[in-house]
Amino acid sequence: SPTSKPPRTIAVLGGGLTGLTTAYYLTRFMPNNRITIYEASDRLGGWIDTDEVTVETPDGTKGTVLFERGARTIKTLASQPKWDDIVFFDLVTQLNLKSELRYTNYGDHIRRFIYYPDHLVDVTGPVLKPSQPFTSILSCLATLYSLLTEPLFKGVIPSVYNYYKRVVEPKRNTIYTRKNPLHATLVSEDVSIGHFFRSAFGRPDIVDNVLSAMIHGIYGGDVNKLSFRSSPFFRIISPVLTKSADEVTVYRDDLDLLFQLSASDPNTFVTAWELLNAEYIWFRNGFRTLTDALEASLRANPKVTIRTGEPVESVTYHPTHTVAVATKKRTRADLHDKVVSTIFAKTLASVTDGKLPTLAKSHAVSILVVNLWYPTPGLNGPNKGFGYLIPQSGAAGNQECVLGVLFDSDRLTGLERDGVPEGDTVPGTKLTVMMGGHLWDGFPKELWPSNEEAIAMAKAAVARHLDIPQAETDRAVARVKICDECIPQQYTNHTVRMEEARAELESAFRGRLAVAGGSYQPPGVLGSLRAGCEMAGQIADSLGFPVGSTGLGRFT
């Protein structure tokens, strides 16, 4: 067959996080192969973008602050095995980035908020410290008072009761919960995240007020449209509904990933063990540290060719059982034994001459990011923590279409571990305002706000939410970036569409074109890293992952 011989020349479309990770692992798994990266923009890193900005304090001191325009942290899982984290730890180990890491532990109790209906509500939960029983009791009482009095938590008690009756109790009282109606929903059809949890809670309050805010933070999307089966919730909830109380579910591909990367270098497992209790992890000089290190490694490899500023115009199957990749800058298409596309699915469909109609239906939301720095520290007052999100139920009072606000300066305070200053050289209040997402769906691009309008909107929103005085607002330094179609939305029946796309890829490209990234796999940094690693392992035939020759082998 045309795919029986291992590929010798491999192209990666897209120089974002998934593309760089794919190329990097290809150089590790297949060191003698030639790899070409095609990137439409003039830089690598994709949506990972750290901007260094010069600012001045009221006393005339000049300094610099780092504005993260994309991802800035990863959040690990405490109660779940760190399967997806292992690729991140492997990269940190292999690229010698451990000294660049900063993190908070689960015991640090980083507070998180939701803005509803007109004020910030702490949704972190009680602080439980056995060494401080009195403080723990007071924290529990404060949490209970909030649950009983805050409009945000309306219906939480009956919702918890319904969840117990519909999920927990059937699991405890039967060996297998095949009679559980929620299990029947899982196996019979794909529903939205909102639909599933409304069924589990027996009412809409928590979904509308709390869960929709969480989804704004993860996807920038609509909780009532996104697929439950394709969401991170599925792997957590599905075993609860289908296994007995004494069983623990471990997915085979998760175990393979852990064994393979740990076996290749035991230091990867050592890094993971050292950060076992870490909750939020970031790099002291910005998340570009990771993409810069990947880029440096690839540029230092003579087998790797990087072509920036070369948007791909066409991808076609060639009679020589290769794939032809054409760009504007080249008079003749380049032939590759294997091509991995990490660009947005709809963009790939547009350059494959109608061969991938299912991917042409893909949808992604755009996020307007406004970074703000105020010379006065602590302007978020007593609300110290990670930041806050705004639910869909608060949209009526959210004319700026804000999804959430991150307290970047709180994340950096007091966490220097080696005497080296953090990325910021002067104090202040640093916020990141995220607007748009699904709230902009159907809104014509020509009517999107200008940079000046976006800054004014962001300043007005946080001034209202955090009660920031006008004098402070006037002194704020701001930067704007519109991330156009940056977060693909995996709507209900995503799995069915991916099965169709897999068949189209096999038919049109005979296993020579594969896909990876957020259009197909879970969103976020960890999902991107894992997708790139698994795709490279599949091509090299060194890892036993079921992604297949198209990258969509799981959807069978």
Residue 251: the pLDDT is: 57
Phi, psi dihedral angles at 367 (to 5 degrees): -120, 130
Question: From CA 122, how far away is CA 58, in angstroms rounded?
Answer: 32
Q: Of 177 and 60, which is predicted with more confidence?
A: 60
| 76 alpha-carbon distance from chain centroid | 12
Reduced to 3 states (helix: H, G, I; strand: E, B; else coil), residue 66 is: strand
Confidence of residue 167 (pLDDT cuts 50, 70, 90): confident
Reduced to 3 states (helix: H, G, I; strand: E, B; else coil), residue 156 is: helix
Average pLDDT over residues 117-125: 94
* Helix, strand, coil percent content, the chain, rounded in steps of 5: 40, 20, 40
Question: From CA 357, how far away is CA 370, in angstroms rounded?
Answer: 35
Average pLDDT over residues 288-308: 98
Residue 421: the pLDDT is: 46
Question: From CA 469, how far away is CA 81, in angstroms rounded?
Answer: 45
What pTM, to 2 d.p., does this model score? 0.92
Average pLDDT over residues 218-235: 93
| 367 alpha-carbon distance from chain centroid | 13
Domain ranges of the chain: 9-46+286-361+491-555, 76-105+153-277
Asked whether residue 255 carries a pLDDT value surpassing 80, the answer given is: no
pLDDT in tens, 324-345: 999 988 889 999 999 999 999 9
pLDDT in tens, 488-514: 999 999 999 999 999 999 999 999 999
pLDDT in tens, 180-203: 666 655 556 889 999 999 998 999
Q: Do the Cβ atoms of 364 and 488 come closer than 8 Å? A: yes
Residue 173: the pLDDT is: 54
Asked whether residue 13 carries a pLDDT value surpassing 60, the answer given is: yes
Confidence of residue 176 (pLDDT cuts 50, 70, 90): very low
Q: Of 244 and 104, which is predicted with more confidence?
A: 104
Residue 410: the pLDDT is: 87
The tokens describing 551, both together, are 């990258």
Confidence of residue 418 (pLDDT cuts 50, 70, 90): very low
Mean pLDDT of the chain: 89
Q: For residue 466, what is the DSSP state?
A: H
- DSSP assignment of 81-146: --TTHHHHHHHHHHTT-GGGEEEEEGGG---EEEE-SSSEEE-S-----TT-HHHHHHHHHHHHHH
Task: Give CB contacts under 8 A, 24+ apart, made by 255-263.
Answer: 256/543, 256/544, 256/545, 257/83, 257/86, 257/87, 257/530, 257/533, 257/534, 257/543, 257/545, 258/81, 258/83, 258/86, 260/537, 260/542, 260/543, 260/544, 261/86, 261/87, 261/90, 261/533, 262/86
Average pLDDT over residues 458-464: 98
The tokens describing 20, both together, are 């760089």
Confidence of residue 277 (pLDDT cuts 50, 70, 90): confident
Average pLDDT over residues 450-458: 98
* Architecture of the domain delimited by 9-46+286-361+491-555: 3-Layer(bba) Sandwich (3.50)
Residue 129: the pLDDT is: 77
Residue 420: the pLDDT is: 39
Confidence of residue 175 (pLDDT cuts 50, 70, 90): very low
Average pLDDT over residues 444-449: 94
Minimum mean pLDDT range among 157-171, 355-369, 428-442: 157-171
Average pLDDT over residues 76-95: 79
Give percent above pLDDT 90 in the chain.
Answer: 68
Average pLDDT over residues 249-277: 73
Confidence of residue 396 (pLDDT cuts 50, 70, 90): confident
Average pLDDT over residues 71-79: 78
